[in-house]
Chains A and B, each alone.
Chain A
Amino acid sequence: MSKQLHEITFELKAQNPTDFVEDFAHFGVVGSGDMEVIIEQKNLDGAVKVKIVTPVTGYDEVWRRVLERFVNDTGVANASLEINDNNATPVVVSLRLRQALSEVD
């Protein structure tokens, strides 16, 4: 049985934004790991554009909440976030996002 992948996209804005300064950052592996995240600098008027590719359906709202909290807690702005998920739980998503961001700090 082939796994149907599901794509979720949305835009968020931090309450206290700080620009993402690196051009590009990549963190994690999707194949043997739980998820990978690619962060790219983009001029988005202070917004963060999120694209998630995941085999799991029915959790769009949870993804949005996890990302909302991440963006607000870190203030990340003007960036595009691409997440390739391999069944990571929200816990792991939060942890990986924070790890990705502090890698470039």
Chain B
Amino acid sequence: MKTKKKWDTRKTDYLERMSGAEPYINNGKVVAAEDTINVLEAVIRLFDRVNIEGNNQKQANFLAEALIKCDTQRIHDLYMVQSAVPLPVHLDMFEVGIAKKLDFAYGGPMGGRVAEAIKNGKLELGAIHTYLELFARYFIDLTPRVSLICAYEGDADGNLYTGFNTEDTPAIVEATKFSQGIVIAQVNKLVDKVTRVDIPGEWVDMVIESPKPFFLEPLFTRDPANITDTQVLMAMMAIKGIYGEYGVKRLNHGIGFNTAAIELILPTYGEELGLKGKICTEFALNPHPTMIPAIESGWVESIHSFGGELGMQKYCEARGDVFFLGPDGTMRSNRAFSQTAGHYACDMFIGGTLQIDKYGNSSTATATRVAGFGGAPNMGCDAKGRRHPSDAWLKCGAEFTSQSEYLGPMPRGKRLVVQMLESFGEKMVPGFVDELDAWQLAKNANLALPPVMIYADDLTHILTEEGIAFMHKCRNLEERMAAIRGVAGFTEVGLAAKSTETKALRDKGIIKTPEDLGIDRQRANRSLLAAKSVRELVDWSDGLYDPPARFRNW
């Protein structure tokens, strides 16, 4: 029997909430900065699912600062669903009780406070996600009721220009608006006509010009001056032993000095090996300043970016053959699409980590910090839905010894997932361990699972100063553990290696040392870097790269 049911309660609720904000909205959709708290109190209800836009790059920090000043009698116990919580205000929200629950992807510098807040009962953690995983849930069971976003420009009709730093905005706005939620944007500048419509005005309810531009973190900038000789040695092994060996053309680089070293020796060592045009032609990658010499030397055909990197905007705009520019001539990043590209269209992920256990699971989690992994796990895994072939993917799949255990003789490719790790890190902290600190963290912060960045079954190569372990070529767990021991240097894990066993693995091509690869250790020094300082990056860019003040030391 059909009962009478209302099918527009969301819409009714939306209109009711918006009527409370009406007195503060003028000239179309404009709200004055001083009325921000008033409109937030009008449209947000207790227990609401709320998104504050922010990832590891841009932050809607003005709206976050306003939300925490709201009357806690009226607004409390919010359920925050947002990519990242890297600012102190994001955690203050839980301290004062405005927020109670959190589902997120990246904590970065606030990782310690997240763990603490969970422990003292101020924060109820749903789960740690990857970016793409969290965006997916925005469209299923974590749809925000109210989203507080940020843009470079906005107009009175609500049109937004997010440009270079478009990042997460389209995903958040689409999920929120198409479920009759409320979208409030802070913009750096109110304009008559936006440079380009990145978000249509219809999808935005209110536009507020913030007193200061939104916060932007240059997370992907690495100063070449800090790259060590060991990192150069590992970069040489990566290029000769992996990139060249597999002919890796489409890839993503994780953040860090290890990958910065690789980027900076492409025009020197890579050129010398005759690999130009054969490797590193297409990337899903933020605009890393350390990519400038390789781009300028003609190595790179295309880069699609998750976000924008502070100081790189003008350079990207001047290299329209490489970066994705709009008809207006400025770049547009897009995290959802770039993560999808990193997952499905790249043949390799290579990045650093803090710890690898004796089985090959790797994590950057420490015992007291819930930092999350951002997008790394989506690229640092085999994309099981992938069906299109490429040479590198097919070669890696053909070498994947234990695949036939599941598929019989059916051929299938495999993504190369490479972790670079010096056996000892700073302060002599061992990189190879019996048990990941993630287990302790799971206990300390009451997590259902130890947070693992890359699982052993996805990991194909471990690269240390000792050599490369080809994990996927191993027959079973026992052989994989021996391969890890063989490249784990003088750590406890490495000291357990038997020289006969390691020798046998070298004979089988499962371990390759610099000598096996024909790499001269004498050449492993900083003179191979195409740029040795930020200043030299600026020179390579013809002055187009404008590094943030903290990276200028001249």
Interface residues, chain A, CB within 8 Å of chain B?
56, 59, 62, 65-66, 87, 89-92, 94-95, 98-99, 102
B229, A95: Cβ atoms under 8 Å?
A: yes
With A56-B428, A62-B490 in contact, is A92–B522 under 8 Å at CB? Answer: no
Q: Which of B422, B495, B522 contacts A91 (CB 8 A)?
A: B422
Cα of A87 to Cα of B428 in the assembled complex, Å? 8
Which chain A positions have C-beta within 8 A of B489?
90-91
B10 within 8 A of A: no
Interface residues, chain B, CB within 8 Å of chain A?
228-230, 233, 422-425, 427-428, 465, 489-490, 495, 521-522, 524
Q: Which of B233, B423, B522, B524 contacts A90 (CB 8 A)?
A: B423
User: Which 3 residue pairs of A and B lie closest in terms of their CB atoms, listed nearest first?
Assistant: A89-B424, A91-B465, A90-B490
Give the distance to chain A from B429, nearest Cβ to Cβ, in Å.
Answer: 9
CB nearest to A58 among chain B residues: B428
B423, A91: Cβ atoms under 8 Å?
A: yes
Cα of A16 to Cα of B545 in the assembled complex, Å? 54
With A95-B229, A95-B233 in contact, is A89–B422 under 8 Å at CB? Answer: yes
Give the distance to chain A from B494, nearest Cβ to Cβ, in Å.
Answer: 9
Which chain A positions have C-beta within 8 A of B423?
89-91
B428, A59: Cβ atoms under 8 Å?
A: yes
With A89-B422, A89-B428, A102-B522 in contact, is A95–B465 under 8 Å at CB? Answer: yes
Cα of A48 to Cα of B477 in the assembled complex, Å? 40
A99, B428: Cβ atoms under 8 Å?
A: no
Identify the interface centre among B228, B422, B489, B495: most chain A CB within 10 Å of its CB: B489
A-B contact count (CB 8 A): 38
Which chain B positions have C-beta within 8 A of A59?
428
CB nearest to A94 among chain B residues: B465
Which chain B positions have C-beta within 8 A of A91?
230, 422-424, 465, 489
Which chain A positions have C-beta within 8 A of B427?
87
Cα of A30 to Cα of B195 in the assembled complex, Å? 55
B230, A95: Cβ atoms under 8 Å?
A: yes
Cα of A91 to Cα of B491 in the assembled complex, Å? 11
Which chain B positions have C-beta within 8 A of A95?
229-230, 233, 465, 521, 524
Which chain A positions have C-beta within 8 A of B524?
95
CB nearest to B520 among chain A residues: A102
Cα of A56 to Cα of B428 in the assembled complex, Å? 9
With A89-B424, A91-B422 in contact, is A65–B522 under 8 Å at CB? Answer: no
Q: What are 23 sample pairs from A and B whose C-beta atoms fall under 8 A apart?
A: A59-B428, A62-B490, A65-B490, A66-B490, A87-B427, A89-B422, A89-B428, A90-B423, A90-B424, A90-B489, A90-B490, A91-B230, A91-B465, A91-B489, A92-B229, A94-B465, A95-B230, A95-B521, A95-B524, A98-B521, A99-B521, A99-B522, A102-B522
Which chain A positions have C-beta within 8 A of B230?
89, 91-92, 95
Identify the interface centre among A89, A98, A102: most chain B CB within 10 Å of its CB: A89
CB nearest to A34 among chain B residues: B228
Cα of A95 to Cα of B495 in the assembled complex, Å? 18
Cα of A89 to Cα of B489 in the assembled complex, Å? 11
Which chain A positions have C-beta within 8 A of B428?
56, 59, 87, 89
Cα of A99 to Cα of B495 in the assembled complex, Å? 23
Give the distance to chain B from A74, nearest Cβ to Cβ, in Å.
Answer: 12
Known: A66-B490, A99-B522. 17 other contacts (CB 8 A): A59-B428, A62-B490, A87-B427, A87-B428, A89-B423, A89-B425, A89-B428, A90-B423, A90-B489, A91-B422, A91-B424, A91-B465, A92-B229, A92-B230, A95-B229, A95-B521, A95-B524
Cα of A90 to Cα of B522 in the assembled complex, Å? 17
Which chain A positions have C-beta within 8 A of B422?
89, 91
Give the distance to chain A from B540, nearest Cβ to Cβ, in Å.
Answer: 26
Cα of A30 to Cα of B521 in the assembled complex, Å? 21
Cα of A99 to Cα of B233 in the assembled complex, Å? 13
Which chain B positions have C-beta within 8 A of A87?
427-428
Which chain B positions have C-beta within 8 A of A90?
423-424, 489-490
Give the distance to chain A from B191, nearest Cβ to Cβ, in Å.
Answer: 51
Give the distance to chain B from A69, nearest Cβ to Cβ, in Å.
Answer: 8
Give the distance to chain A from B486, nearest Cβ to Cβ, in Å.
Answer: 13
Give the distance to chain A from B277, nearest Cβ to Cβ, in Å.
Answer: 32
Which chain B positions have C-beta within 8 A of A89?
230, 422-425, 428
Identify the interface centre among A56, A94, A98, A102: most chain B CB within 10 Å of its CB: A94
Cα of A65 to Cα of B422 in the assembled complex, Å? 17
CB nearest to B228 among chain A residues: A92
CB nearest to A66 among chain B residues: B490
Cα of A87 to Cα of B422 in the assembled complex, Å? 15
Which chain B positions have C-beta within 8 A of A99?
521-522
Which chain B positions have C-beta within 8 A of A102?
522
